Homo-oligomer: A and B are copies of this chain.
Amino acid sequence: MSTAPSRVFSSDNAAGASPEIVDAMARAASGHAPPYGSDPLTDGVRRRLCEIFERDVDILLVSTGSAANALSLAALTPPWGSVLCHRHSHINNDECGAPEFYTAGAKLVPLGGDDARIDPDELRAAVRHKAGDVHSVEPSVVSVTQATETGAVYSLDELRHLGAVTKEAGLRLHMDGARFAGAVAALGCAPADLTWRAGVDLLSFGATKNGTMTAEAIVVLDRSLTAELSFRAKRAGQLAAKARFQAAQLDAYLTDDLWLRNAAHANAMAARLQDGLKAMLGVELLGAAEANILFCRLPQQVSERLLSDGYTFYHDRWEPGVVRFVTSFATTPQDIDGLLHSIRRHTA
């Protein structure tokens, strides 16, 4: 492994995997095990998640976050339903229509709101929009992302409120938890409070961005959906023969709170970056780094010089001058300090 500080701040999906995950994969590689999720490791993961969520849950291990999201939505809406989501949500913009594919053509209805959080007033209007009218798609499911695509974190009260609006109108609630660990770490809440106690029926439980290799999961909080999800997952090519190798990753990920430790570290690195930037002239922080994503405005020539230095990050995607830095479990204080040093030098 390179000992020089990393200059990768483009995404948490550019990191590798935690050593505990590597060890778990090696252990799982020896001996035989029953296929398709009937192995002991998969069952162990389920039991751990029952403890973490304080409820009998089922799980489906899948290969990507898009698959977790799309499968979940397909179980929550009929093809003639609509999925209410933030207009900046990953399901709306970054999955090439996976939700439309898996749901057999449901419609995503984009809503507004700051920091990629759904505005409750817009939601309240949308959940009843043309309900029961056969000329229109039927409002069927709300999807919230926690933490959001811009790194904001819904507070427990905000979530409960959205959940109440959703449930009062008879809709189902999905949570895209690609960065769920980061949100739990940031809020210090019980996972149960952030999910089923607020009305969440299905959770896409992200792991890949936070230290695993190729494992994602759907946590089935409403177990009446399990049978349907199982058929849908197989049919989608998402039931792995050697499922133990996905389970092994999640088992290690959940052991000794690795998932929360990794997330807390990534959050701390973003906070360290934020602290360092606060004092700098010419840098404007945009929003607060509630999880592991930080937005700021940098002078054009600073961005260019950072890129010349070999730094990678997204820029000019939102507005000219706006830059996004993402930290991960693998980001070190030295990486942050190196980045801060470079920005300071270029703004001087």
Contacts and interface: CB of A to CB of B under 8 A. Distances in A.
A57 B97 CA distance: 27
Interface string A250-291: 000000000000000000000000000000000000000000
Nearest to A209: B241
Interface string A128-141: 00000011111000
A207 to B, nearest CB: 11
A237 B65 CA distance: 7
A148 interface: no
Nearest to A231: B80
Contacts of A214: 63, 214, 240, 242, 245-246
Given A2-B31, A80-B231, A95 B135 contact: yes
Report how many copies the assembly holds. Answer: 4
A240 B64 contact: yes
Contacts of A231: 78, 80, 96, 134, 138
Interface in A1-60: 1-2, 6, 8, 11, 13-19, 21-22, 25-26, 28-36
Interface stretch (A101-109, A114-122, A190-198, A292-300): A101-109
Interface in A223-241: 228, 230-241
A340 interface: no
B13 A30 contact: no
B29 A26 contact: no
A213 interface: yes
A29 B19 contact: yes
A238 B96 contact: no
Given A14-B35, A231-B80, A246-B214, A98 B237 contact: yes
A145 to B, nearest CB: 16
Highest count of chain B CB atoms <10 Å: which of A19, A63, A209 = A63
A93 interface: yes
A94 interface: yes
10 contacts: A16-B32, A17-B242, A22-B29, A28-B213, A80-B231, A95-B237, A96-B231, A97-B106, A135-B234, A209-B241
The 3 closest A-B pairs by CB, nearest first: A67-B237, A100-B105, A63-B63
